[in-house]
Amino acid sequence: MRLSELSELSGIPAATIKYYLREQLLPPGHRISATQADYDESHLRRLRLVRALIQVGRLPVATVREVLGHVDDASLGRTIRLGAALWSLPHGPEPDDEAPETATARAEVDRLLDQLGWESVREIGELSPVHRSLVASVATLLRFGYPYEVGYLVQQAELMYQVAVQDLDMMETHPSEKEQVETAVAATVLYEPLLTSLHRLAQEEESARRYGL
Amino acid sequence: MRLSELSELSGIPAATIKYYLREQLLPPGHRISATQADYDESHLRRLRLVRALIQVGRLPVATVREVLGHVDDASLGRTIRLGAALWSLPHGPEPDDEAPETATARAEVDRLLDQLGWESVREIGELSPVHRSLVASVATLLRFGYPYEVGYLVQQAELMYQVAVQDLDMMETHPSEKEQVETAVAATVLYEPLLTSLHRLAQEEESARRYGL
């Protein structure tokens, strides 16, 4: 398809698409003449993702380029490719190594992961910014005098594991590895807020069931 | 205890505590002389919560005052008291009634809630800002051309319901209704980021199990 058709189908103005092309957020179309190029389904899919990252994820263009670089890197194994793409997305706070609670938090997180038997996550360790955020959040709990109960977190983590299994099953309905990684990135930006809303609504429902409306 | 002791136990400078007292984020102590007041455990607990809301939740003082007003309002039934306190916390996007996808999103959310049998949430409807955020997130999915599969969301929502049951069980380990509502507010601010980290870590673990490290 031509750029005008790509614009129509995606609902994104042609000028914006040209900007994405210049910024290398969208791969060039197949040249068919000196002034025209041909675009396909993969461009439409990529445009959709770029828009989600910029408009919903509020990512700066440089970060979008980095995320997409990992999505497109077929030399990586799937877990690393997924990881690299997702780790470039914004994540939670970094642990403060000056704070006395951080060492305790690290030990608590290790204990949690051991109880869960999440061996790969344990092996990847604080290379993962998600792991580091977890340490930071636990350190905050401790610093503010809130209890950290490993048993409670094990239960919650096991439920989140079931959610993750569904996430990956959904991802695998897409045919190519590249589309799967694209889907995972889009899901993190678009579905995570939805999951948070469902969690809070579930609390409202359960509260009404226990205590009345 | 005296203000100096309250400061020491909480780790919060006396000047900050005086500021919270002036801003009515902390109830006054029991006057024991013209210049001295006595504080107790409830003050310590409240300080902890105020600090979590301001430092982690990044809430402005006026919002903290509003949240605490609901926490302290014993005239409300427990579900409404909880709801009012939690609804004052920051939440997701509001639906855009101008956007053509919003009506479809509303119908999809209703269908989801019907399938889940979440009757109270259905009854409360868009009075709840959480409900409104869910509609807004679904509308975004639709607008950006991502699929909305009610079956997938039902599964995820049912798992989040199990998480919510654990949340309320944990809340009920606290003796008074007031402490329970305080705990729910603190948990929303402090544990929600932790749950998000656990979700993403679970995806990493499951990815490594399926595709290798």
Residue A142 CB coordination number (10 Å): 18
Identify the pLDDT of residue B180.
93
Identify the pLDDT of residue A94.
95
For the stretch A38-53, pLDDT in tens is 999 999 999 999 999 9
Q: Which residues of A touch B200 (CB under 8 A)?
A: 86, 91, 130, 188
For the stretch A164-173, pLDDT in tens is 999 999 999 9
Q: Which residues of A touch B125 (CB under 8 A)?
A: none
Distance from CA of A6 to the nearest CA of B (A): 14
Q: Give φ, ψ of B30 to 5 degrees.
A: -75, 120
Helices A129-143, A101-116: inter-axial angle, 10-degree rounding:
120
Identify the pLDDT of residue A144.
87
Q: Rounded CA gap, A134 and A9, in Å?
A: 41
Q: Which residues of B touch A198 (CB under 8 A)?
A: 134, 153, 156-157, 160
User: Could you give the angle at the alpha carbon of A162 between the alpha carbons of A158 and A167, nearest 5°?
Assistant: 140
Q: Which residues of B touch A208 (CB under 8 A)?
A: 79, 120-121, 124
Q: What percent of chain A has pLDDT over 70?
A: 100
Query: How many CB pairs lie under 8 A apart between chains A and B?
Result: 244
Q: Confidence band (pLDDT; 50, 70, 90) for B154?
A: very high
For the stretch B49-59, pLDDT in tens is 999 999 988 99
Q: Rounded CA gap, B149 and B141, in Å?
A: 11
Q: Which residues of A touch B168 (CB under 8 A)?
A: 203, 206-207, 210
Identify the pLDDT of residue A147.
80
Identify the pLDDT of residue B13.
95
- B146, pLDDT greater than 90: no
The top-level CATH class assigned to B3-86 is: mainly alpha
Task: List residues bridging with B31 in a β-sheet.
Answer: B37
pTM: 0.93
Q: What percent of chain B has pLDDT over 90?
A: 86
**By C-alpha distance, which of B16, B127, B81 is closest to A201?**
B127
What ipTM does the predicted assembly reach?
Answer: 0.93
Say if CB A133 and CB A93 are below 8 A apart: yes
What the block records as the tokens of B79 is 């579900």
Q: Which amino acid is at A106?
A: R
Please compute the mean of the pLDDT values over residues B8-36 and round it to a whole number.
93
Q: Between B91, B92, B166, which is nearest A155 by CB?
A: B166
Identify the pLDDT of residue B152.
92
Q: Between A186, A201, A207, which is nearest B146 by CB?
A: A186
Residue of B nearest to A185 (CA): B200
Please compute the mean of the pLDDT values over residues A201-209 and round it to a whole number.
96
For the stretch B51-100, pLDDT in tens is 999 998 899 999 999 999 999 999 988 888 998 899 999 888 999 999 99
- B101, pLDDT greater than 90: yes
The residue ranges of every structural domain in chain A are: 3-77, 101-211
- First-to-final CA distance of chain B: 55
Q: Rounded CA gap, A204 and A24, in Å?
A: 45
DSSP structure class, residue B2: -
Please compute the mean of the pLDDT values over residues A73-94 and round it to a whole number.
90
Identify the pLDDT of residue A102.
97
Q: Between A78, A163, A208, which is nearest B120 by CB?
A: A208
Query: Which ranges of A88-191 would DSSP assign to H, the alpha helix?
Result: 101-116, 119-124, 129-143, 150-171, 177-190
Q: Confidence band (pLDDT; 50, 70, 90) for A26?
A: very high
Residue A210: alpha-carbon gap to chain centroid:
34
- A180, pLDDT greater than 90: yes
User: Could you give the angle at the alpha carbon of A33 between the alpha carbons of A31 and A35, nearest 5°?
Assistant: 90
Length of chain B: 213
Q: Confidence band (pLDDT; 50, 70, 90) for A127?
A: very high
Q: Which amino acid is at B154?
A: V
Q: Confidence band (pLDDT; 50, 70, 90) for A106?
A: very high
Verify whether the Cβ–Cβ distance A197 to B165 is below 8 Å: no
Mean residue pLDDT of chain B comes to 93
Q: Confidence band (pLDDT; 50, 70, 90) for B35?
A: confident
Mean residue pLDDT of chain A comes to 93
Residue B90 CB coordination number (10 Å): 11
The matching CATH number, chosen from 1.10.1660.10, 3.40.50.1000, 3.40.50.300, 3.40.30.10, for A3-77 is: 1.10.1660.10
Identify the pLDDT of residue A66.
94
Task: Out of B48-57, B144-153, B193-202, pick the least confident.
Answer: B144-153
Distance from CA of B52 to the nearest CA of A (A): 7
